[in-house]
Chains A and B, each alone.
Chain A
Amino acid sequence: MFERELVIVGGGPAGMEAATSAHKSGVRDILLLERDQYLGGILNQCIHPGFGIEHFKEVLTGPEYADRVIKQVTSMPEIEVSLRSFAVHLTKDKVLTFMKPGILENVKAKALIMATGCRERTREMIHIPGTRPAGVFPAGLAQKLINIEGFLPGKEVVIVGSGDIGLIMARRFLLEGAKVKAVIEIQKKSRGLLRNIVQCIDDFDIPMYFSHKVSNIYGRNRVEKVSVIKVDDDFNELADSYFEIECDTVLISVGLIPENELIEMAGVEIDKKTNTPITEEVNKTSIPGLFVCGNSFKVYDIADSVSRDSAIAGELAAEYLRSLK
């Protein structure tokens, strides 16, 4: 076991901003753990523009936004970046266990910032009945398959939910030559940003059904079709509105869940509904010196807001470390 002043888990925009902010506030011993083989987190797969308008006063793509922050991080030699490093265990005394190929380490952090992001809600969480064929993807996984791996997951797509990732993927599939047959949203209006509705859906004449839900997924080996039904204000199905759409792919874009299983393991009080730490103040938790920032603190709409608030986590950690001396 070794000891560090500040350990940060997660090398996306939140973790990187917290690291540079802590450095600016005087912390000179920082370990930044990232499970992937590069920094940047989910920004790397977001190749569309619209990032940085607030934070950098310029329109950037996700990878460009990430690149700017990565350059700041790597310009500060006191920030040690450890890639392919996967946190597996955390205690209330801030002893963190992480693994990387060939190594399992225990590090005692004086202060700890968790910037572990979100996972996507799944088809199972909204209980869509039917079969379980290939071709049902969380929207973010489909985004990674296309933008990072270079594979087209399907050719005829129905999107469940109108979250931002779903809207952006509607346009992305269409630009890749696939047919986007419908976006199905159970609410009366989209939960995505207005600009995404206009630029990803309206501009491409993609059919959008509000107050509708996918009531079943069909197909033995691969998705063959979905059934759709209109719902009333209390989400009751209106039987005679039933129709079917043939497709080979269903994307699920029904929201994000903050990933806070590690701090829960350490004993931080968690709101079971939102899966976020219970706290009055931004980035703080019930354990002193243990901070949470970015999408694992709360689900943000845009990366710029993540950067803004995560800087506060870096300052809070610096202040906490000063208070120990």
Chain B
Amino acid sequence: MNAYDIIVIGGGVVGTSIARELSRYKLRIGLLEKEEELAFGVSKSNSGIIHPGTQNPTDSLKGKLCVQGNKLTRKICKELGVVFKEVGELIVAFDDSGMEELMRLKKEGEELGVPKLEIVDSAWLKKNEPNLSDKAAGALYAPTAGIISPYRFAYDLGENAAKNGVEIHLLTEVQNINLIPENSTAEKYRFEVSTSKGSFRARYLINAAGLFADEISKMAGIDNFKITPRKGEEFLLDKNDEHMTDHLLFPLPTKTSKGVLVIKTSDGNPMIGPTAKEVEDKEDLSTTDEGLEKVLSSVRKMIPTINSNDIIAYFAGLRPASGHDFIVRYEDKVPGLINVAGIQSPGLTAAPAIALMVRDLLKKNGLTLRRKIFFHRHRRKTVHLFAVPLSETEKLVKKDAAYGDIVCRCEMVSAKEVTDAIARGAKTLDGIKFRTRAQAGRCHGGFCTTRLLRILADETGKKVIDITKRGPGSEIVKKDRRDV
């Protein structure tokens, strides 16, 4: 049986952040993820914004963790070689009452400790954001807002955690949790976790199960919150529109969401969205005509020239909401259990701060934390041809011929990047897409899918008919005709 000091349930950006933080210490740590790859749940649909900390109530946990997380993320990105771009954000107002609201948001943000906030007028906007509607009266400018790739961040955190000894178990779905009566074992294991891949024991259990955190908590005996999925549909535009805006654009926030945004992404393609709609089904990732209409009509108030023909992809994600704030707490009634739940926006930004908070909760509740002598803090940066100038590409091609073997023509991804991604853990076509951008461009895999299938088969030893889009049940082809 696998026995750990700590089991983290959930391999999204929160679970991997916690696992990586705790891997600094002399602890046996296991991470359980039900999907075939990390970040395949809530994290894969994240917008990739590192928020400055505005638009949060001053007394909220998420406000505090967001401001702290914005600073920590930069440091971790440096250590792990994740690209962080500080693009800044503008919350745009269109009339006098909106300008008053901006003043309130500025004051709230400053109370939370958000640095460098500034109200800018319409003349500033005309100069710095020329495509913005000329009806804009002014904006709250938060220069510390940034963008990263949310899934590459999670993959790199997971990879670094594994390098530091965390054991990651994929396709491992938690089915049941039994509490072990006190003192029945010498090692003081408190939890026996039954999964689709056998049983695990743990002294401490950290529940970072995203949409399913309420169900996991209930299995462990705590039934005091409910996750209500809130769907967000997002629409990606062609890379040619990369410089449509120079900042992240926000409207004034509503009670339940930050509104429909114009998002710069770390890969270049701008994104518009998300919608915000409560749904019942935790697996409802469908997009709708209404969602598209809503996003286009909302965004056109800010950027009137957006062309719906430039949409090259769309998807929906579910925010794992539970009330209005995050839940990060040690459950006294079930000693050893920490719930990390309701991590909706700004969860990506807050994740490193959540990890520190979890560490402190463990320490406070009896876990001895002793630092390892050798902690692998750094990770070699992943090479992406699309992100380097041709002069650099030329050097890479000379160093390794496979960099010159282009697989994905729309996004310029080489065979070398694909085999690297597989070596680092990609097992599915979506896993390759999230890591390398192959299939993420304007032809949507029309040209490169066959080659990717072959590379995946060669590198993993799988048959092509067993290769999936995103895990069991999503096989790409139905039959190998070469056997006939």
Q: Which of B315, B405, B475 contacts A101 (CB 8 A)?
A: B405
Contact B469 A141 (CB under 8 A): no
A residues 131-177 with Cβ under 8 Å of B?
131-134, 138, 140-141, 144-146, 148-155, 176
- Report the minimum CB–CB distance from A64 to chain B (whole Å): 21
Q: How far is the CA of A99 from the CA of B474 in the complex (A)?
A: 34
Q: Which of B288, B315, B446 contacts A140 (CB 8 A)?
A: B446
In order of increasing CB-CB distance, the 5 nearest A-B pairs are: A102-B401, A221-B473, A221-B474, A151-B477, A134-B469
Contact B445 A153 (CB under 8 A): no
Interface residue A122 (Cβ < 8 Å from any Cβ of B)? yes
Which of the listed residues B286, B453, B454 has the most CB atoms from chain A within 10 Å of its own CB?
Answer: B286
Contact A151 B465 (CB under 8 A): yes
Choose the segment among A81-89, A191-199, A277-285, A289-297 that binds chain B (4+ C-beta atoms closer than 8 Å).
Answer: A81-89
Known A-B contacts A99-B406, A125-B309, A150-B482; the reply to A131 vs B286 at CB < 8 A is yes
Interface residues of B (CB under 8 A from A): 283, 285-289, 291-292, 308-309, 311-315, 390, 393-394, 397-398, 401-402, 404-406, 409, 412, 442-447, 449-450, 453-454, 464-465, 468-482
Residues of A with C-beta under 8 A to B450: 141, 144-145, 148-149
Interface residue A129 (Cβ < 8 Å from any Cβ of B)? yes
Residues of A with C-beta under 8 A to B472: 221
Q: Which of A102, A140, A145, A222 contacts B475 (CB 8 A)?
A: A222
Q: How far is the CA of A111 from the CA of B435 in the complex (A)?
A: 38
- Report the minimum CB–CB distance from A136 to chain B (whole Å): 9
Q: Which of A119, A123, A150 contacts B480 (CB 8 A)?
A: A150
Contact A119 B447 (CB under 8 A): yes
Interface residue A103 (Cβ < 8 Å from any Cβ of B)? yes
Q: How far is the CA of A183 from the CA of B249 in the complex (A)?
A: 42
Contact A151 B292 (CB under 8 A): no
Interface residue A287 (Cβ < 8 Å from any Cβ of B)? no
Contact B481 A146 (CB under 8 A): yes
Q: Which of A124, A129, A131, A154 contacts B444 (CB 8 A)?
A: A124
Some 28 contacts from A to B, beta carbons below 8 A apart, are A35-B406, A86-B409, A88-B393, A89-B390, A99-B393, A101-B402, A101-B404, A101-B405, A103-B397, A103-B401, A103-B404, A119-B443, A119-B446, A124-B313, A125-B311, A130-B287, A131-B286, A132-B315, A133-B474, A134-B470, A134-B475, A141-B445, A141-B447, A145-B450, A149-B453, A152-B480, A155-B478, A176-B481
**Residue in chain A with minimal CB distance to B471:** A221
- Report the minimum CB–CB distance from B38 to chain A (whole Å): 18
Interface residue A325 (Cβ < 8 Å from any Cβ of B)? no
**Residue in chain B with minimal CB distance to A152:** B479
Contact B412 A151 (CB under 8 A): no
Known A-B contacts A99-B406, A122-B446; the reply to A88 vs B412 at CB < 8 A is yes
Q: How far is the CA of A100 from the CA of B453 in the complex (A)?
A: 21
Contact B401 A130 (CB under 8 A): no
Residues of A with C-beta under 8 A to B404: 99-104
Q: How far is the CA of A217 from the CA of B120 in the complex (A)?
A: 45
- Report the minimum CB–CB distance from B221 to chain A (whole Å): 30
Interface residue A80 (Cβ < 8 Å from any Cβ of B)? no
Q: Which of A102, A141, A216, A248 contacts B449 (CB 8 A)?
A: A141
Interface residue A120 (Cβ < 8 Å from any Cβ of B)? yes
Interface string of A67-108 (1 = CB under 8 A from B): 000000000000000001010110000000101111110000
